[in-house]
Structure 1
Amino acid sequence: MVSRPLRRWKGERAAVRLRVREGLSSMLRSAEGIEVVGQAGSGEEAIATVAALAPDIVLLDLCMGGMDGVEATGHILRAAPYTKVVIVTTYETDADILRAVEAGAAGYLLKGSTRNELVQAVKAAVRGETVLTPSLAPKLFRARAPGEPPVLSEREREVLQLVSQGLTNADIGRRLFIGEATVKTHLLRSFKKLSVSDRTAAVITAMERGLLS
């Protein structure tokens, strides 16, 4: 049995989430080079929408109707590994940020971000760059408990340093005069040594452990 106050509260939450989605969509639709192809009101809907529309990037809230954003991120990336997921939320606790990054999110933004910050973050994520509201970086560093620093080769450090600057694998290959496949090999080796599964987590972990300047 669901009481009327509870039903009313749930309805109000759904209305708020809808207004937020419409607001984000409006900001992005007015930006050059960005096309908004769909919206979803829950984690389950987001997974289905990605499967149907194959977008380049998905903006997810941590708290949605049904499945939360972190769980939805994992499902989306397993089914569509080339889709980028950026978390956009009001939650900024250390644990929330760490969960999102470890799930494979390409970035984490707060809903208070300006239109320009949002647009630039979307474009950066599509280019393969790491997206993180600057004020959140210290929280993420604190949330990750550093262990014994792993040993990265000089080339692995070079590749990660360029990743931290926002370069794609192709860009890094041209900069270092190596093939894109070789760049991927160095990244995969770095992931294994750092015990991470994606570029964002690799850069953050390497910086935290003093492996990057």
Structure 2
Amino acid sequence: MEKPVRVGIIEDDPQIRQLMQLIIDGSPGFSCLQVWESCERALPDLKTDCPDVLLMDIDLPGMSGIEGVGELRKLNPQLPVVMLTIHDDNEAVFDSLCAGAVGYLVKGLPPVQLLAAIREAHAGGSPMSAAIARKVVRSFEASQHSPLSDREQEVLSMLCDGENYRTIAEALFISVNTVKAHIKNIYEKLQVHTRADAVRTAIRNRLIK
């Protein structure tokens, strides 16, 4: 039997915290490991028992979510952190991804989308709401010194939009194997190993249009 995805939540709003815990614990294949109201309370516990995925509010009292991501990356670089917030401004997205978050979601998503995002983060993906992904991708101009070819930038942009290999292949009228080859080249040029790392590197260095 497959082990459930263990999820931790750092959220200062008790109603949102409880709602997310109920959704996760009430869904097959998921388990809420623990909830905390602040990074300061969470960090000592996370030193001894880390969840598979951590959901964290960006606007926490005391240590902010963005600061917390940096501390968590020091503690456990492999822990996927997904930011949750009511805001969808580009600067918050940019700062949280550069700090090490793998994804960014607006609060109030339907339960099925929240659970899908947790699954995607657990699988090494970069969950983002479509609106946020498009805004991030389009808000930064492509660097003139990008190491990527035009086609590789197209593929990377679609990766940032959350598209899978097949949909990328269909949109660009190429084979899935060609998409895989482009992604292999992108990873090598950016010196990354996962989609999440590629997305963060692309946004940080403005490699996509």
Partner of 1:116, secondary structure, is: helix
CA contact (8 A) 2:12 2:37 kept: no
Instruction: Tell me the equivalent position of 1:54.
Output: 50
**Counterparts of 1:91 and 1:157 in 2: how far apart (Å)?**
27
**Counterparts of 2:106 and 2:24 in 1: how far apart (Å)?**
15
Instruction: Tell me the equivalent position of 1:91.
Output: 87
Greater fraction of residues in helix: 1
State the Cα deviation string for residues 31-78 of structure 1 (Å, max 9, x = none).
221111011111222322322211111000011121000110111012
After TM superposition, what 4+ stretches of structure 1 lie above 4 angstroms from structure 2? 156-167, 203-206
Partner of 2:82, secondary structure, is: strand
CA contact (8 A) 1:94 1:142 kept: no
Instruction: Tell me the equivalent position of 1:64.
Output: 60
The answer to whether residue 26 in structure 2 is matched with residue 30 in structure 1 is yes
The answer to whether residue 109 in structure 2 is matched with residue 113 in structure 1 is yes
Shift of 1:144: 2.9
**Counterparts of 1:36 and 1:68 in 2: how far apart (Å)?**
22
Shift of 1:127: 0.3
Amino acid at match of 1:198: D
Instruction: Tell me the equivalent position of 1:187.
Output: 187
**Counterparts of 1:75 and 1:16 in 2: how far apart (Å)?**
18
**Counterparts of 2:65 and 2:155 in 1: how far apart (Å)?**
30
CA contact (8 A) 1:56 1:82 kept: no
> What is the RMSD of the two structures over their aligned residues, measured on CA atoms?
3.2
Counterpart among 117, 142, 148 of residue 152 in structure 1: 148
CA contact (8 A) 1:98 1:144 kept: no
Amino acid at match of 2:198: R
TM-score, normalised to structure 1's length?
0.70
CA contact (8 A) 1:77 1:104 kept: yes
| Percent of matched pairs sharing the same residue | 23
Number of residue-to-residue matches in the alignment: 177
Instruction: Tell me the equivalent position of 1:6.
Output: none
Aligned ranges 1:191-202 → 2 under 5 Å: 191=191, 198-202=197-201
**Counterparts of 2:94 and 2:12 in 1: how far apart (Å)?**
26
Greater fraction of residues in strand: 2
Structure of higher RCO (CA pairs closer than 8 Å, 6+ residues apart): 2
CA contact (8 A) 2:70 2:99 kept: yes
Shift of 1:25: 0.9
Structure with greater Cα Rg:
1
